[in-house]
Amino acid sequence: MAITGVGCRLPGGLDGLDALWAALLQGRDLVTRMPAERFDADAFTAADPRRPGRTCSAAAGVLDDLAAFDAEYFSLSPREAARMDPQQRLLLELAAEAVDDAGLDPAALAGTGTGVFVGVSNNSYGNLQFSRLETVDRHTMTGIASGNTAGRLSHVLDLRGPSMAVDTACSSSLVALHQACAYLGAGGEAALAAGVNVLVGPHEFIGFSKASMLSPTGRCRAFSADADGFVRAEGGIVLVLKPLARALADGDRVHAVIVATGTNSDGRTPGLAQPSAAAQAALLRQVYDRAALDPRELLYVEAHGTGTPVGDPLECEAVSAALAGRRRPGQPLPIGSVKTNLGHLESASGLAGLLKALLVLRHRVVPASLYGHPANPAIDFTRLRLAPVLTATPLATASGGLAGVNSFGFGGSNAHAVLAPAPTP
């Protein structure tokens, strides 16, 4: 499947692929702190994580202006827009930008069987409205329904294909991508695949802190001995997808080619949120075997890489068992994580990683992942034949090759996608 259009908004004011690439190449840390207009971070933060109603950290990767929205452009009243989840508003703008990036006239899409598949798991805006019942009005229910993150796009653009929200926690957007590719593989003509996450209140910060998932030091330190949890982040990505043959016949500019996707579940583990290296490895083998792909063609894997003491070692074991184990000694598989730059976009994180992998294949350089020193002693990188990329490194070949993207949800839903470079125009 061809990626023919991209719209994105990411922390640090990043609003496109060029801006993302510049930030990655410069090694920028785009994590800051929750702004005061969202909530009083100091009032909900405490050094002692045992304090009720407090989070250990308010560090976050945030968007510059979450409130701004051009309601008139989408024929929406300001009153309705105010009740709409910012995730719906953000997706509308990103869909318009992605369709434009694909060189498509939105009017030409109207009435077509284009599908919409959105990864989303955050219900914070609805929780805030229901905490002040006097703010609830006739637009509240349509404005906060998770399914309407997709339904709103289909409604505004008049798209007649399947329209659905996918919630598998942190793997949501990559599972949505898998569903979109399955739809196209079954004869669909085009699809929008998206992921979105917005941070508006302290509730989830407190919850993740109490679960010992949040980093008290406020950084995602993937594969590092100092890894102590993840940092929350927000943003959105919308991709326009077509079958590759159709895209080439239409003369479309192709950003990259999705050559395989897959999902599975961990099943029963010692705890719901505890990942399974065996299940992750099984998924990777399945994805590459079904598509007849040789893992030795992999030039880079964009890992889930949240920087948790449990998750990172298990993911590395899985990637090694399924993909890196057959590599020659001295030729380890490069791995990295965009979360070290942006934070963890949760339901949108898989597509954020996919954009990085796309850019790696385009520019033939793997940017550095941040905060990787000192290396995690629980991960034997030499034995596993893996190499975290800690300085910008050219790819092993000047053309071709594959890049993999991992995404795992804390309920056990795993996803993987494999990208190839765009064909020569």
Helix (H) or strand (E) holding 86: helix 86-101
Which residues form the domain of 104? Answer: 1-425
**What is the identity of the amino acid at 264?**
N
Alpha-carbon distance of 14 to 17, in angstroms, equals 8
Helix (H) or strand (E) holding 121: none
How far apart (Å, rounded) are the C-alpha atoms in residues 403 and 389? 14
pLDDT of residue 49: 80
Domain CATH for 262 = 3.40.47.10
Q: Do the Cβ atoms of 20 and 8 come closer than 8 Å? A: yes
Encode pLDDT of 373-425 as tens digits.
999 999 999 999 999 999 999 999 999 999 999 999 999 999 999 999 999 88
Residue 199 has pLDDT above 90, yes or no: yes
- The residue written with tokens 């990188």 in the block is 381
Mean pLDDT of 305-334: 93
pLDDT, tens digit, for every residue of 184-193?
Answer: 999 999 999 9
What band does 43 get if pLDDT is binned at 50, 70 and 90? Answer: very high
Burial of 49 (0-12, 13-18, 19+ CB in 10 A): middle
Query: What pLDDT score does 369 carry?
Result: 98
Look up residue 357 and give its amino acid: A
- Predicted confidence band of residue 284 (pLDDT cuts 50, 70, 90): very high
- Give the rounded percent of residues in the chain with a pLDDT score beyond 70: 100
Q: Reply yes or no on whether the pLDDT at 327 is more than 90.
A: no
Would you say residue 150 has pLDDT above 90? Answer: yes
Which amino acid, residue 5?
G
For 76-122, the pLDDT digits (tens) are: 999 999 999 999 999 999 999 999 999 999 999 999 999 999 999 99
> Is the Cα torsion angle 386, 392, 394, 395 positive or negative in sign?
positive
- Residue 131 pLDDT > 90: no
Chain mean pLDDT for the chain: 96
What is the rounded distance in angstroms from the CA atom of residue 144 to the CA atom of residue 23? 33
CA distance 41 to 256: 40
- pLDDT confidence of residue 48: 87
- pLDDT value of position 47: 83
